[in-house]
Amino acid sequence: MASKAELFEAVSRTGRALGSGKRLELLDLLAQAERSVQELAEVAGLNVTTTSAHLQVLRDAGLVASRREGTRVFYRLAGPEVAALVAGLCRLAETYRPDVQAALSSFVMGDDMRALSRAELLEASTQGEVVVVDVRPAEEFAAGHLRGARSIPLGELAERLSEIPMDAEVVAYCRGRYCVLSHQAVRTLREHGRRAALSAEGILEWLGTEMPLDDASKRS
């Protein structure tokens, strides 16, 4: 019969798998969509060998699942609970570590932008008070998105402004709290005379919650 110490030791192996900034980043990317090792390596700025090693650690910890298609291996989160774990860890670090607070402020929260909470975004979207725009790459939108959101990737936003009514307030969202795409989108919208705000959260924080996501909850 296993002892309590052995039980905690077994659980700790999952915690140890999270002890790498790059592995957390890979989980963040996998919360958006299933990806091949090669795709993950490119987006994360790693070589394929290093990416494969990180993914093996995550798989051994039960945090990701994989499938093979020909010579390519595709990875996905083991379940929405993994996204909740990563989001919760980030929130915990932001709350109790001043260095994380400072880094977050300088990285994504230095702009004077109105940020809608989860409840505020859901209410405004439900009431039709805002146009919600998903500024992630199109393949991530296809894998899962906020119900009712429009897909306008950041790189196409300036050219597709005509698709957004002039008198509408736009709320942009992206991968999560540590994603700068929505900040850049709000700046672009304001430069073109549009009213714009951003969502304080993104797909990472919404997986497995009450937020109405299309397809995302079915990926695992």
Report helix, strand and coil shares of the chain as percent, to nearest 5: 50, 15, 30
* Other residues' Cβ atoms within 10 Å of the Cβ of residue 211: 18
Cα Rg of the chain, angstroms: 18
First CA to last CA distance, the chain:
32
What residues are labeled active site?
A: 174
C-alpha span between 22 and 45 (Å, rounded): 10
C-alpha span between 74 and 39 (Å, rounded): 9
C-alpha span between 83 and 102 (Å, rounded): 23
Measured at the CA of 157, the angle between CA 145 and CA 80, to 5 degrees, comes to 20
